[in-house]
Chain A
Amino acid sequence: MLSIKNLHIHYGAIHAIKGISITVNDGEMVSLIGANGAGKTTILHAVTGLKTATSGEIRYDQYNLRTVEPSRIISLGMAHVPEGRRVFQRMTVAENLDMGAITFKDKARVETNREKVYARFPRLKERARQIAGTLSGGEQQMLATGRALMTDPRVLLMDEPSMGLSPILVKEIFGIIRTLHAAGITILLVEQNARMALSIADRAYVLETGAISMQGKASDLLRDDRVRRAYLGA
């Protein structure tokens, strides 16, 4: 359903992404792991149109995402949870969720989606009137995820959901990702926390300085010596 072919991205003279290809099939959870600065976020931003690619192909169903306006991507059933729990700090939890579906005209659908999000994250419902900036890190990550779910997406792009969270919260967030996947949402998960990502994903790609160095079934990569040495500290 999502296929990236021979993608090249430059930041000025710097060749950040050097011809990578990634496929995500319907219903799959694919993880993209790699160190800081490998280019993981850049790839996600190219998919959602926040960063313009130099060359290559990004296909999503029948659409060529390189020519689709970033603001239209949501309406194609794709949602993006950006890196670093980017919630609207000075708005309430409820307002944050409303922002997620702001491009929707269908009020009734927004209402049902909000109920679904609240059912999935009861804590967000409890804190609906609280200012988002006062939530804990884990709750903010929940809110960012909930906001993306307001559009009832088929594909979820998640950028470093574990960033800056305590190990317990990381476990909780990954539990949520697992249930989202079980609910049938296709997920492309970008992570530095390779162990967690590989333990829940179906397949994975290892990104090293802008190129894919390894790929395969996540469970195989978890046992691979090179991956273990480089990313799992074993």
Chain B
Amino acid sequence: MLKNEKRKAPLLNFAALAALFALLVLLMESGVVSMYVRGIIVQCFYVIIMVTSLNLTMGFLGQLTLGHAGFMAVGAYTSALVAKALLQANILTVGPGSDILLFLICMPAGALMAALFGILVGIPALRLRGDYLAIITLGFGEIIRVLIQNLKFAGSKGLAQGQAGQALIGIPVMNNVYVLFWIASLCVVVMFSFVRSKYGRTIMAIREDDIAASSVGLNNTYYKVFTFTISAMFAGIAGAIFAFRGLGTLSQNDFSFLKSTDYVIMVVLGGMGSLTGSVVAAIVLSVLPELLRAAEQYRMLVYSVVLILVMIFRPAGLLGVYEFSIRKWLPRLFDKKEEVPKA
């Protein structure tokens, strides 16, 4: 009985996603969604990927990282530059449909490059126990930003000019919310399966007790670097979405330290160790500032107060380690009598 239900779970999850998608289509096609709202929806998608991927490192690996926007920058610039190169070489042209193709070619490039940087940062930082990762990623985020500021091919005037960095312009646009919906969903599903897998349990064991973990024969460094790399890779995907979001420009200011801390705040608010919490926090904290545009100058103030309140009243984050599960919810909705088996 229970086994049978478990086998149905992927189907059920897919049905739920399809229902969400139908809702999105309905919204988009009904014409109530303006260009402005569309931009916010796209923002939700890349922020969701950023926050869930950061949660892999913070919540599941238990390591603080302060340069997640740096990996996003690597993914954004790589995918944008590859796209520009492809267009310049006339391998692809911008036209209906081909923008999606172009994006699907450039996004993996950004993801791969971000993953590569993840390995480079992770290997020295994660061999050690303790908070070295936070310090190293803090440095990494700033180095990437300053590097971009001074790289000629990234749109800047170059090192010798000594001028402030300029934006990279002329990036093609791919803001098809339907495609992005499935990309974001796929990312979240992959991360979900990752934390539910043997790998996920292994990294949680290392987080719980690294000496015990190595005493059962686990190569801690390998698993830590692997997870961190996955996390960086997804940040690269988020970066690609960001680069193609529609403005056509990228600037190093989009990936400042403050952005990194924004994502950290979202992870903490949603609950370290809850991907559901990350998705909720990402959506709420993307939409909320837009609703509160009038009070924008108080945003950081409100954030700090909210964060302090959450830390006092819900120290594990809003959702703690809770994960939403359709399989457990459906019986409750339709048949109140059927008892939900306790996990």
Contacts and interface: CB of A to CB of B under 8 A. Distances in A.
Interface of A: 48, 50, 69-75, 79-82, 86-91, 95, 98-103, 144, 147-148, 151
Given A91-B204, A99-B201, A102-B202, A73 B217 contact: yes
Nearest to B218: A71
A102 B209 contact: no
A144 to B, nearest CB: 8
B202 to A, nearest CB: 6
B214 interface: yes
Contact of B205 (A70, A99, A151): A99
B217 A71 contact: yes
B215 A82 contact: yes
Given A86-B209, A87-B209, A102-B198, A48 B215 contact: yes
Nearest to B217: A74
Interface string B200-217: 011011001101111111
Nearest to A147: B216
B-side interface mostly: helix
Given A99-B201, A102-B202, A88 B209 contact: yes
A72 B208 contact: no
Interface in B207-238: 208-209, 211-219
24 contacts: A69-B219, A71-B214, A74-B217, A75-B217, A80-B215, A82-B211, A82-B212, A86-B209, A87-B209, A88-B204, A88-B208, A88-B213, A89-B209, A90-B208, A91-B201, A91-B208, A95-B201, A99-B202, A99-B216, A102-B201, A103-B217, A103-B218, A147-B212, A151-B216
A106 to B, nearest CB: 14
A72 B217 contact: yes
Interface of B: 198, 201-202, 204-205, 208-209, 211-219
Contact of B212 (A71, A72, A75, A87): A87
Interface centre among A50, A99, A103 (most CB of B within 10 A): A99
Top 8 A-B residue pairs of the complex, sorted by shortest distance between their CB atoms:
A74-B217, A86-B212, A71-B219, A88-B208, A80-B215, A103-B217, A82-B215, A86-B209
A71 B213 CA distance: 10
Contacts of A74: 216-217
A158 B215 CA distance: 11
A87 B219 CA distance: 17
A88 B214 contact: no
Contacts of B201: 91, 95, 98-99, 102
Given A99-B201, A102-B198, A102-B202, A70 B208 contact: no
B208 A89 contact: yes
A50 B209 contact: no
